[in-house]
Amino acid sequence: MKQLSIIITILIFVTVGKSQTNIYHPFPDSNAFWGIHGTNCFYPDWWQDIRYGLNGDTTINGKLYSKVYKLLDSTLTNPNSTYWAAIREEDKKIYTILFYYPEETILYDFNLLIGDTITYNFQYGLPEDFGRVVTKIDSVQLFTNEFRKRFTLVSIGEYFGITDSVIEGIGSIGRCGLFNPLYISFPSNGSSELFTCFKQNEIIYYLNNPVCDHCFCSLYITGLEDKKGTAGIHVYPNPFSGQTKIESDYYLRDATLSLYSSIGRKVKQLNNISGKEIIIESDGLLNGLYFLNISQNNIIIGTVRLIINN
């Protein structure tokens, strides 16, 4: 009798889960947050939290998009957060326009079946033969105990074999989360990212945070130690003598680097920067604290504190 009861319970559980995945969960269009936690195996004290949030709408080419911001803190109200992308849904397909690439590209397609391939017209760092094929579709239980459909995609082409998981109504839960695979980061320099959470209307739906038991472990990312940066900007070494290397998690094009003294005076500027690495020289600057900004298309995409110690 006890075994029968257990079997019935399991059947009910499976049936409920299957019925929930038959209900389509649209992509959020407001009051949603995605969190990513970054670390570096060569610099144990270094970390960064990247947070994306939806805040407001915009119309581009006659189509309505939700605006995605890279958040300076865990709120949508900080005026220093930076606009990052526009995103919209149509026929269970999610499209985006990143601020540094003007063309719309597909991000997710929740109509796909096993064996289907999704390709991207985003050629800003992705190889021309890049695509992803659906190898599995199942369900996953969220933090709220509800079930949602999950797609397993494997990349083809130059990045053959890289696996990602995409959850309906949430997006990618691999690596850098929301903008996978348009934003690809490999731990070649010791850095790695982990998608930590998704919440909407203050309800946590997905949570995989190694640091604490909620979405955002701290309110602000200001006041960081000197090794820590924002918006995927890394500095090695820091403090430095003579020269240091600035690394960006995504490809820069015609970017500007500005270095300011601790009292706000600009002491160095590099223009027309392209690529993911920048070497800067101390060039006789006095020892002390400096602030480095990297901007592109008149938008500050990263800020980090430097210490020169010649």
pLDDT tens for 148-169 read: 999 999 998 777 788 999 999 9
Residue 199, CB-side half-sphere exposure with 13 Å CA sphere: 17
Average pLDDT (161-184) is 90
Coil, helix or strand at residue 128:
coil
Q: Give percent of the chain above pLDDT 90.
A: 36
Domain stops at, among 157, 172, 207: 207
Coil, helix or strand at residue 2:
helix
Token reading at 169: 């109504």
Query: What's the pLDDT tens digit per position in 223-238?
Result: 333 333 445 677 888 8
Residue type, 210: P
Question: For the domain that residue 287 is a member of, what is the CATH number?
Answer: 2.60.40.10
Q: What pTM, to 2 d.p., does this model score?
A: 0.68
Work out the mean pLDDT of the chain and round it to a whole number. 81
Task: Please check whether residues 75 and 184 belong to one and the same domain.
Answer: yes
Query: What's the pLDDT tens digit per position in 35-80?
Result: 998 776 766 666 678 899 999 999 999 999 999 999 877 788 877 7
Average pLDDT (3-7) is 48
For residue 125, tell me if it sits in a domain. yes
Coil, helix or strand at residue 296:
strand
Task: Look at strands 299-308 and 288-296 and give their pairing.
Answer: antiparallel
Total number of residues shown for the chain: 310
For residue 142, tell me if it sits in a domain. yes
- 39 near 64, Cβ under 8 Å? no
**Whole-angstrom Cα distance, residue 68 to residue 97?**
10
Task: Please check whether residues 245 and 292 belong to one and the same domain.
Answer: yes
Domain containing residue 141: 2-207
Count of domains for the chain: 2
Task: Please check whether residues 203 and 238 belong to one and the same domain.
Answer: no
Domain stops at, among 207, 223, 248: 207
